Amino acid sequence: MQIGTYIRRQPATLTSLPAAIGAELDSFSGLRQTPERIVLLGTGSSMNALLAGAEALEEGTGASVIAKEPEAFLRLPPRASGQRTLVLAASQSGMSITTIEAVRLSVQLGFPTLVITGEAGSLITETGAEIIVMPIGPETVGPKTMGYTATVISVLAVAAKLANKTVDVSRLIAQLEQTAETGLVAAKDLVARFGVPDYILVAGQATHLGTALEASLKIAEISGVPTSAFDTEEALHGHVYGTTDKSLVIAIAQTETEAKVAANLGEALAELGPRTVVLNLSGYPTPFDLDVSWPTAPEQQWLAGCWAPMPLQWYGCELAIARGIDPDKMIYPNLGRRLNVRIRKEA
């Protein structure tokens, strides 16, 4: 299983990335002024990573932050206004057709446009935007894990740069290796306890709305198990009604309040049938917690979006294995081609 190599590479990539892209960030003219409006632009994992950084961007700059899928951006691009605007785009492959077109349009419209990508020489690097190429090396499996968390830490590094803060996670490598390894054990344990659920709902807030969306995307792409993700508030307001006694709800908690809400949800659902576990990064235990070792320093918790997905990346793989599917491939390997969402390298 190749994907496991990339999941395990994340502690090293995450802890080295901020320093590796620091000089590039210093050189970008688009980051010299504090924006008043930030438009996030991307799709799939890249949009999830941008969303994982949205609150840090908002807190660090005071800007209003909106997210646009590329087609929405093309249909209704931001209007020129008195507000200083930054368009922050991401595409791990640099080959998603509509993201490339939307970035071109953004540059044409004169917005400072910064793109985070994993591929030097990809088409998105030829759009005229300022480009951060994440120096993480190739990720040659269908479902990307390392590319996602690398994009999250890059977005957080942009937020830090705009807020004149620094991101230093270089001393976290041993802890993050623990997170990856305990995450694998927790994922195996989930499959042993609950088998293959008929549906998995992932709920998270703030940075972990991105985590929830990414976990549900990855589990679906790797294992083919039906998933969804919602802001926790949305889940509580109705979407948990769509679960059965064969379903699993994964609630992500970053604060004590969120942990209490998650525990209350777990208790309420247990009486009705659906199972609940809590991906609990808060330090306030609940009876539903996955047994994962997390970085605990309070001043680093705003970065948690870059390490929180690891156990659920493993969970996607373990579910695939339980279903007799190769986790390295997307569940429908050639579907992306059929759906024309990518410009292929040969095109």
Ligand X SMILES: N[C@@H]1[C@@H](O)[C@H](O)[C@@H](COP(=O)(O)O)O[C@@H]1O
Positions that interact with ligand X (CB under 6 A) = 43-46, 91-93, 96, 99, 221, 336, 341
If the CB atoms of residues 91 and 106 are measured against ligand X, the closer one turns out to be: 91
Pick the closer one to ligand X by CB: 295 or 336.
336
98 closest CA partner among 68, 118, 128: 68
CA-CA distance, 1 to 12, in Å (whole number)?
A: 19
How many residues make up the chain in this entry? Answer: 347
Residue with Cβ nearer ligand X (46 or 280): 46
Q: What is the DSSP letter of 79?
A: P
The answer to whether residues 127 and 100 touch, using CB atoms and an 8 Å cutoff, is yes
Identity of the residue, 192 or 335, whose beta carbon is nearer to ligand X in the bound complex: 335
CB nearer to ligand X: give 35 or 316. Answer: 316
Choose between 13 and 45: whose C-beta lies nearer to ligand X: 45
Task: Report how far residue 245's alpha carbon sits from residue 328's, in angstroms, rounded to the nearest whole number.
Answer: 29
- Least CB distance to ligand X at residue 245 (A): 30
Helix axis angle, 207-223 relative to 45-52, nearest 10°?
160
Torsion, CA 74, CA 80, CA 84, CA 87, rounded to 10? 10
Min CB(188)–ligand X separation in Å:
24
By beta-carbon proximity to ligand X, the closer residue of 76 and 339 is 339
Closest residue to ligand X: CB criterion: 44
Compute the radius of gyration of the chain from its Cα atoms.
19
Whose tokens are 């790797």? That residue is 222
Closest approach, Cβ 34 to ligand X, in A, equals 27
| Minimal distance, residue 149 CB to ligand X, in Å | 13
Q: How far is the CB of 115 from ligand X (least distance, A)?
A: 10
Residue 55 or 221: the one with the smaller Cβ distance to ligand X is 221
The three-state (H, E, C) secondary structure of 240-294, written as one string: HHHCCCCCEEEEEECCHHHHHHHHHHHHHHHHHCCEEEEEECCCCCCCCECCCCC
- Comparing CA positions, the residue from 100, 68, 143 lying closest to residue 332 is 143
Q: How far is the CB of 43 from ligand X (least distance, A)?
A: 5
- Which CA distances in Å does 87 have to 18, 274, 331? 20, 41, 33
Query: What's the min distance (Å) between Cβ of 138 and ligand X?
Result: 13
Least distance from ligand X to the Cβ atom of residue 92, Å: 4
